[in-house]
Structure formats: C-alpha cells, structure tokens
C-alpha cells in the first residue's frame, strides 16, 4: 500500500483575461450619384429659382408655386467612406480557464505471479552466480596468503625481515619458520658426569635412586624445532641440577647389587663408562 498526495495546476500561458477588439468606421453615405425628382417651392433665394416666361409673356412658375425638379443625390455605394479608421476598442473576454486539482488517497497493488518455477530458477541462478563470485574471491585470497607465507618464510630463512618499527612489519609478523618434518637441526646437549659413592656408606641407596631419577632418557634429542627452542634452556637447567646433586655426595665404589641396579636404569651408550675394573 502506498499513500499519495497530488496537486495539479493547468492553465494557458500567457494568461489574458480579455483583449481589445478594434471597431472600424463602417459608415457609407456617398460614392454613388443618382437622379431624383423632388417638389420644391419656387423662391428667388433658392438655387432652383425659375423665372422663365411663356410666349404670351406669363411665367411658367410664379413665385412660391410648387415645381418639380430633378437633382443628383449622393448615396451609398457599398464601400466605407473611411476604410481602416478605428472608432473605438471593444473589450472581449478570452474565456481562458485555469484547472486546479488536489487529490489524496492510498493505492494498493496485488500481484500474483503465474511463473513461480521460472522465478525460482532465476533466484537460484542469481544465488549460484553470487556463490561463484564469492568462491573466486576466496581463491584469490588463498593464493595471496600462500604467496605471502612462502615469500616471507624464504626471506626469514635467509635472515631478511622488516624492522619492528617499519610500517610494513605486520606483513610477515604472523609467519613462523620451523624445521621441516622429519629433519633435526644439529644441536648439542650438556650431559652430567655421574659420580659414584661408597656402597658401605648410608648414601649408596639414595645415590642409586638419584641416578635412576636423573636418567638421560628425559634428556633425549628434540624431534622438532619448536621443542628445541623451548627444551634447550630446560635441558641445561636439569643438567646443572643433576650435577649439583651428584657432586654433593662423596665419591665411592658401589657394590655389585647397586651396580646392577644402576646399569638397568642407564642407557647402553652409558654402560661402558659406568662399568668398574
């Protein structure tokens, strides 16, 4: 539903309420001469005065008698005497009208589609096109991230990177370089040198216990570079603690039972140095 308000104003332009219509002089009183017989009085002061006499000496018309004369009379000839002359102007209404209208109302449209299947297919096609564009954008983004990871990794392996204060440091800030799988970077461990105590002393059993607890199996080689970075400090710390523990006890010759017990807990690579003559 849609409400609406309409206003319309229709009129002619330029607007004239009335106009002056000229009125011409159509008088026609002369232009054609005609002969006409009229009866007049015979007076001496008139132009038609007749003082003629007969053969016997008498007058044809005495003074004051009626007589018939023929005169030329000027009459209308159908042509205005003063053509083109405007005598006055007559105001005439133009009958121009101005139409104005003002409408208010509400309009509603009811539409029932007759091709629901085609419309659904059109919507599916549009959604498929949108999904296709989204996937293309995702592929481009994946290519960009992989290229950034590869280039940043190669540069970091070569010791090339942005300064932390550089505005471009964030480009490779999230790239971490580690050792490839199945490869161990050459490294070293500080292994403690065992010191033996006298088996007759009261500390022989505690010495063997300390040796079993300080087995080098916990100091084994790291399998990944991330463990290498974190375990390097831990190995050195455990080695120093073991050395301080063993050096605190006095050196003595262990008994055969203690020797066998120690050999069971010591790796084969350590058995040769630990054997007694």
Question: Tens-of-pLDDT digits for all 277 residues of the chain?
Answer: 899 999 998 888 888 888 999 999 988 888 788 888 888 888 888 888 888 888 888 888 888 888 888 888 888 888 888 888 999 999 999 888 888 999 999 999 988 878 888 888 999 999 999 999 999 999 999 999 999 999 999 999 899 999 999 999 999 999 998 877 777 778 888 888 888 777 776 544 554 444 444 444 443 444 344 444 344 444 444 444 444 444 444 444 455 555 554 444 444 444 444 444 3
Q: In the prediction, which pLDDT does 28 show?
A: 85
Distance between CA atoms of residues 157 and 136, nearest Å:
32
Q: In the prediction, which pLDDT does 228 show?
A: 41
Are 252 and 198 within 8 A, CB to CB?
A: yes
| Cα maximum dimension of the chain | 224
Give every CB contact of residue 217 below 8 A, 6+ residues apart in sequence: 267
pTM: 0.30
Q: In the prediction, which pLDDT does 167 show?
A: 93
Show the beta-strand stretches assigned E in 143-224.
none
- Helix crossing, 204-213 with 256-265: angle to 10°? 10
Distance between CA atoms of residues 161 and 164, nearest Å:
9
Mapped onto helix, strand or coil, the DSSP state of residue 96 is coil
């Amino acid at each position: 539903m849609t409400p609406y308000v309409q206003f319309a104003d229709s009129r002619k332009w330029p607007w004239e309420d009335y106009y002056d219509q000229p009125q011409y002089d159509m008088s026609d009183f002369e232009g054609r001469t005609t002969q006409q017989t009229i009866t007049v009085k015979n007076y001496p002061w008139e132009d038609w005065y007749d003082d003629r006499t007969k053969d016997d000496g008498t007058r044809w018309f005495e003074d004051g008698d009626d007589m018939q004369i023929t005169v030329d009379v000027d009459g209308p000839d159908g042509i205005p005497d003063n053509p083109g002359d405007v005598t006055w102007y007559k105001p005439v209404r133009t009958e121009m009208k101005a139409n104005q209208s003002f409408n208010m109302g509400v309009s509603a449209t009811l539409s029932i589609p007759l091709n629901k299947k085609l419309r659904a297919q059109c919507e599916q096609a549009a959604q498929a096109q949108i999904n296709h564009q989204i996937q293309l954008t995702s592929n481009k983004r994946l290519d960009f991230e992989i290229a950034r990871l590869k280039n940043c990794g190669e540069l970091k392996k070569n010791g090339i990177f942005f300064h932390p204060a550089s505005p471009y440091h964030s480009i490779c800030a999230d790239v971490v370089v580690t050792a490839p799988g199945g490869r161990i970077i050459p490294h070293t461990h500080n292994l403690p040198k065992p010191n033996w105590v006298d088996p007759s002393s009261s500390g022989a059993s505690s010495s063997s216990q300390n040796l079993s607890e300080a087995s080098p199996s916990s100091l084994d080689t790291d399998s990944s570079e991330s463990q290498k970075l974190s375990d390097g400090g831990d190995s050195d710390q455990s080695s120093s603690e073991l050395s301080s523990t063993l050096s605190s006890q006095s050196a003595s010759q262990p008994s055969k039972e203690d020797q066998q017990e120690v050999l069971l807990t010591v790796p084969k690579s350590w058995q040769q140095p630990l054997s007694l003559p």
